[in-house]
A and B are shown apart, each in its own frame.
Chain A
Amino acid sequence: MGRFHRHADGTVHTHDHDHDHDHGDDLRRDVGDHRGYVDTGTERVAVLETILAENDRTADANRAEFAAAGVVTVNLMSSPGAGKTTLLRRTITTLGSRLRLGILEGDIATSLDADELSGLGAPVALVNTEAGFGGECHLDATMVRSGLGRLPLHDLDLLIIENVGNLVCPAEFDVGQHARAMVSAVTEGEEKPLKYPVMFRACDLVVVNKIDLLPHLDFDMERFVRNVRAVNPAARLVFVSARTGEGVGEWCEWLLETQGRAL
């Protein structure tokens, strides 16, 4: 079967069908008088299913598992190099004493980011998409599911899913998260919200990172904020330097609010 039928946890399952397999009515119609439409021999059948239906079903299963474990999840996305991992290092050390945090680390290859985050007191599970997932440039619900067994979900309050660095594809795939956040570094320029609107529209919060570099750049913050507002008027913005720690407190407050609100 295809990629959306992977079952990394090794289970075999039956797919839900929206119809039974008793074709009584269809058969009666089909064996009837065909003279009216023998020319084509085909019939148009309305499907009207979202293309990502299979992914969405798995995402719902993930959501149910998170709810059963009492853990709130945030899907963290960005382009490569925007600073997700550095932000998460800060997040673990800042929030570690206030709630039980876990990380699911998604990367195409290598354990570099997972290694950087391990040993800080939060359990980290790595999902490499090149290992059995065709080297996909995003995490989908099945990939996330494959990593859940390696995390002590029942002992966590908050799980942050660090998605594969990419501003396009991760935005399309529900992985079962309660909230979506993204990191956009000031080094990426002001026009990214207009160029990658699906990502910016998908997120509840945008972390504007690397603000310590602003004195060295021509970055126009007002224009960037205007562009974010144009595609997503409701998104919350926090201004952060994951390197110096500036603004990280406000990001952590949002995580605490999200965790409290979702329960």
Chain B
Amino acid sequence: MHELALCQAIVDTVSRHADGRRVERVEVRIGHFRQVVPDSLLFSWDLLVDGTELSGCALAIDHVPAVVECAACGGATTLDLPVLVCGSCGSTEVELVSGEEFLIASIDRAKEVC
């Protein structure tokens, strides 16, 4: 639902880091527990960059799995549902070590100012 607003935020940050150069690819890192629909994000991206200096720039979405580490047994579990339980021993003494990422990781920009 809010993917268009998120894309606008990505566009703003990318434009700031582009330094006036052509940007060919943007990589975002989005955790499994974020409520972002990749297709919706890509659709919004194309809509927003069309006809702008970012036109043709690819958006790459790096999906980060949700992983908890267990304080009781030390095991790591990859979660689908957001139920914070260790898959090995069933303990709820777990820490979420990934899955909430929401980053613009990198941009591929032209070396020369266009």
Contact = CB atoms under 8 A, between A and B. Distances in A.
Interface residues of A, number: 44
A136 B8 CA distance: 13
Contact of B9 (A2, A44, A169, A196): A2
Contacts, number: 118
Contacts of B73: none
B108 A43 contact: yes
Given A30-B112, A43-B109, A45-B109, A201 B82 contact: yes
Interface string B19-45: 100001100100001110000000000
Contact of B84 (A15, A34, A45, A231): A231
Interface string A215-233: 0000000000000001101
A52 B16 CA distance: 14
Interface string A8-40: 000000010100000100000010001001000
Contacts of B14: 47
Contact of A52 (B9, B105, B109): B9
A196 B13 CA distance: 28
Contact of B111 (A30, A196, A198): A30
Nearest to B94: A233
Given A197-B82, A231-B83, A49 B5 contact: no
Contacts of B109: 42-43, 45
A169 B19 CA distance: 31
Best-buried of B9, B16, B19, B92 by chain A (most CB within 10 Å):
B9
A5 B8 CA distance: 10
Contacts of A41: 110-112
Interface string B79-114: 001111100000010000000001111111111100
Interface of A: 1-5, 15, 17, 23, 30, 34, 37, 41-55, 134, 136-138, 140, 166, 168-169, 171-172, 194, 196-198, 201, 230-231, 233
